[in-house]
Structure 1
């Protein structure tokens, strides 16, 4: 019997590479927002968490828009040089799109946004590579907050544990992390299991552009103001961009 043409193996992990259509959509969205909103900010993210950024987007959706995508694509949307810029002076924002940054388009005043950013933060669990802000030590004894089934997992993370009468028990004092030292993946997982957040999710407003006042720098930097230099072809593939994907979901 001949093999059916429908009998094909399809990998569920196979995904389509984001192409020109996706990039052009981001560029069009940015240019639409430049026309719609009077104030634009470049913000830098500390301890990035997608879920918290999405919460902010939901909270601000009535009169603002967050866009967080590939820096090169966002630069093209604003204009990378004075000749390319979509509004006078806006290419200076584009020059500050480096690292883990995004764009905030808003109807709120510059003063409102800066005051909010100064006071806003959210506690989150630290990830590997984070510098510990305190020393955490577990004394020998029972860990009754953990089910007995967790004991093998805790032991695999390096904790000196055993089961005593069905209770997870540490049989010697154990230092999870030390203040000022970089966390390993295992230490970060243990801190999360213990419910000890160390990181703070924050947004720092690097600079702004408003239709009323033009460009203003809020955090000093060493960006050179070369008005005519643009790098690379507008739509070529980026390697190693800090923002891997656009998460501006409506």
Structure 2
């Protein structure tokens, strides 16, 4: 029996694919900035958060241009071989474009750039797959939000969620309460989705958003200098994290 047309499921969401024109425009913009600025930095992002990337973009909007995401297109713009590179030396930078990396074009001196990004590492909540940086144990008694000042107990209507995340809570005087200490996570161990969510609920931040400079190309000499040795934190969701093309 033929299926009724009325039973057909129609998706109401549609994601526009990047067109060849979009890629050509990005390549052109990158190459225009190669001609404009003294330095092109390759940077890597750890504990990827779009909100913090937007903060970086805002703070550097008057003195730099930043591109993030779509690594293959950025590499093509620079040129991955000596024959294809847009300016001498750029192929050495293009070959390093892998993972959560971006390009920062600026005239600011190298010492100013590295010092600024070394100092910019706001704390954030860990995600599933991140390693716990410390052991967190909730004591017996009311379950508290540690990020409030002073810490305050969870309201009664959030007790079902706490139990769903693994806490053996009971209600006492309308407050979710533990009869015994509960270890949320152990230092050095990967976090589960439930542990990460629970840490977020109680206000425990375990990771830092970081932008680590990996290499620098100088327009005047065409030299590429390796500069970064820091470690970035990746999320279980994948190395691409929350990649978005970011320019300023």
TM-score range for the pair, normalised by the shorter chain length: 0.7 to 0.9
- In structure 2, the gaps of 5 or more residues are 1-7, 144-151, 230-237
Q: Quote the residue 2:235 is aligned against.
A: none
Q: Distance in 1 between matches of 2:243 and 2:29?
A: 15
What RMSD over aligned residues (CA atoms) do the two structures have, in Å?
A: 2.0
Match among 226, 230, 248 for residue 217 of structure 1? 226
When residues 171 and 181 of structure 1 are mapped into structure 2, their CA distance, relative to the original with a 3 A threshold, is: same
Matched residue count: 224
Give the 3-state SS of the residue equivalent to 2:176 in structure 1.
strand
Q: Is the alpha carbon distance of 1:243 and 1:135 closer, same or farther for their aligned partners in structure 2, counting shifts above 3 Å?
A: closer
Q: 1:163 to 1:53 in 2, by over 3 A?
A: same
> Using a 3 Å threshold, how does the CA distance of structure 1 residues 82 and 244 change in structure 2: closer, same or farther?
farther
Matched with 1:4 is none
* TM-score normalised by structure 2 residue count: 0.84
> Which residue among 109, 134, 157 is the counterpart of 2:165?
157
Does residue 204 (structure 1) correspond to residue 212 (structure 2)? The answer is yes
What's the offset of the Cα at 1:10?
A: 5.9
For 2:57, the equivalent position in structure 1 comes to 57
Matched, 1:195 2:203: yes
Q: Distance in 2 between matches of 1:38 and 1:243?
A: 30
Task: Give me the whole-angstrom Cα distance separating, in 2, the residues matched to 1:48 and 1:58.
Answer: 17
Measure the CA separation in 2 of the matches of 1:26 and 1:243. 21
Alignment of 1:41-56 (within 5 A): 41-56=41-56
**Alignment partner of 1:74: what SS?**
helix
When the two structures are superposed, what TM-score results if normalisation uses the length of structure 1?
Answer: 0.83
Structure 1 unmatched ranges of 5 or more: 1-7, 221-239
